[in-house]
Amino acid sequence: MQEAGAKKTRITMSTAVLVVLLLVGAGLVSYSAYGYYTASRATPPLTVQSGDSVYVNYTGQYNNHLIFDTSVLSIAQNNASYPKAPGFTWRGAAGYKALQITNVGSGQVVKGFDLGIIGMTVNQSRTLVVSPADGYGPLNTSLLSYIPLYQNVSMVHTVLSATFQSDFGVAPQMGLVVRDPFWGWNLQVLSTGNGTATYQYQPNAGMTVYPYTLNSTTVAGMSGFPVKVVTFNSAADNGTGFIELHNEIAASMAKAVGGKAPSGSHFVIWGLNSNGTATLNFNQPVAGRTLVFTVKVTYISNPSTGAKTGIPGYSLYLSDSRTEL
């Protein structure tokens, strides 16, 4: 019995020692495992900070989803999927590449864009909604013009002969018929003399002309609006006559269609008014507008630490920005 008790005691002690060893071993494994994971914790990714040099791809659009600018060639080329706003200017294929900002936060781009990319990582996309105050400033109301939807134009005009030749490319001669380059209808010289020329417009009732169209292969959305000749009377106003015109400006054209005035200045149709007029905006198209930018950072360089990541100037694909708003 004593021997059996001794064996039992030895077994119990052995078991206790084994448990202690296992516990110690477990503690070591746990400690080792904890130490292992701590040592391999990932370094936080580099983010855009003030003063950094970065490259960014972007697409800018208005709230009506018309694109006014982009750095992405595929978006610039595709007008069907990415309709352009009035004033969007084609820069040629070589002109579309990631935008370089050499000193973030210094005002090289509009404030809302400049501050909006801070904190971004390479390949991260972000949507920036930029108010006019943080964009291109407020609308200058002195550059708004009002045009009646129905207007009369005199049929007979007298100008200096030199002005006639400059405007129409030919010296005035009595009976001469030429096409008016603005209105698109013919005119006939009624008389010349004393260094002047008198001519009369010769439109056709019911004809539609497009005098405000900017024919350009580089500037989008400047098709102007159609103008219809309602009627005309050559004997009215003591022989000066008049042409009644209907400027066919639709509500759907507001902020979506632009054109070129006789002065050569560009405008955007801003809206219809209850008094039978339409507003033409001669500000630069981005002024006074809320801008929506979809941006993707492609490269970050921190001049203070020397840290860099990404590929400078790399044009990453930007998905349809309208789906990211």
**How many beta carbons lie within 10 A of that of residue 81, not counting itself?**
10
What is the reported pLDDT for 23? 37
Q: Are residues 92 and 219 in the same domain?
A: no
Q: Are residues 147 and 276 in the same domain?
A: yes
User: What mean pLDDT is predicted for residues 205-220?
Assistant: 93
Does position 94 have pLDDT exceeding 70, yes or no? yes
**How many beta carbons lie within 10 A of that of residue 235, not counting itself?**
10
Q: Is residue 36 part of a domain?
A: no
Q: Is residue 115 part of a domain?
A: yes
Q: Are residues 133 and 147 in the same domain?
A: no
Q: Are residues 91 and 191 in the same domain?
A: no
Q: Are residues 111 and 179 in the same domain?
A: no
151-193 per-position pLDDT tens digit: 999 999 999 999 999 999 999 999 999 999 999 999 999 999 9
What is the reported pLDDT for 281? 98
Q: Are residues 271 and 304 in the same domain?
A: no
Could you tell me where the DSSP H helices lie in 161-236?
A: 161-168
CA–CA separation, 263 and 280 (whole Å): 14
Token pair recorded at residue 184: 């698109």
Q: Is residue 25 part of a domain?
A: no
Q: Are residues 248 and 175 in the same domain?
A: yes
Q: Is the dihedral of CA 91, 92, 96, 101 positive or negative?
A: negative
Residue 127 bridge partners (DSSP): 294
User: What is the number of structural domains in the chain?
Assistant: 2
Does position 88 have pLDDT exceeding 70, yes or no? yes
Does position 50 have pLDDT exceeding 90, yes or no? yes
280-305 per-position pLDDT tens digit: 999 999 999 999 999 999 999 999 99
Q: Is residue 5 part of a domain?
A: no
Q: Are residues 186 and 125 in the same domain?
A: no
Q: Is residue 9 part of a domain?
A: no
Q: Tell me the pLDDT band of 1, cut-offs 50, 70 and 90.
A: very low
CA–CA separation, 137 and 118 (whole Å): 22
**Among residues 287, 255, 249, which one has the least CA distance to residue 268?**
255
Q: Which domain holds residue 98?
A: 53-137+288-324
Could you tell me where the DSSP H helices lie in 99-248?
A: 111-116, 161-168
**Among residues 302, 312, 293, 286, which one has the least CA distance to residue 104?**
302
Q: Are residues 79 and 150 in the same domain?
A: no
Q: Is residue 130 part of a domain?
A: yes
CA–CA separation, 103 and 217 (whole Å): 34
Does position 40 have pLDDT exceeding 90, yes or no? no
Report pTM. 0.79
Q: Are residues 99 and 159 in the same domain?
A: no
Tell me which of 10-14, 274-278, 303-307 is least confident: 10-14
**Can you tell me whether residue 163 is helix, strand or coil?**
helix
Does position 32 have pLDDT exceeding 60, yes or no? no
Does position 125 have pLDDT exceeding 70, yes or no? yes
Q: Are residues 185 and 245 in the same domain?
A: yes
Q: Tell me the pLDDT band of 216, cut-offs 50, 70 and 90.
A: confident
Mean of per-residue pLDDT scores for the chain: 88
CA–CA separation, 114 and 6 (whole Å): 83
CATH number of the domain that residue 78 is part of:
3.10.50.40
Q: Are residues 160 and 275 in the same domain?
A: yes
Does position 3 have pLDDT exceeding 60, yes or no? no
What is the reported pLDDT for 314? 60
Q: Is residue 8 part of a domain?
A: no
Q: Is residue 243 part of a domain?
A: yes
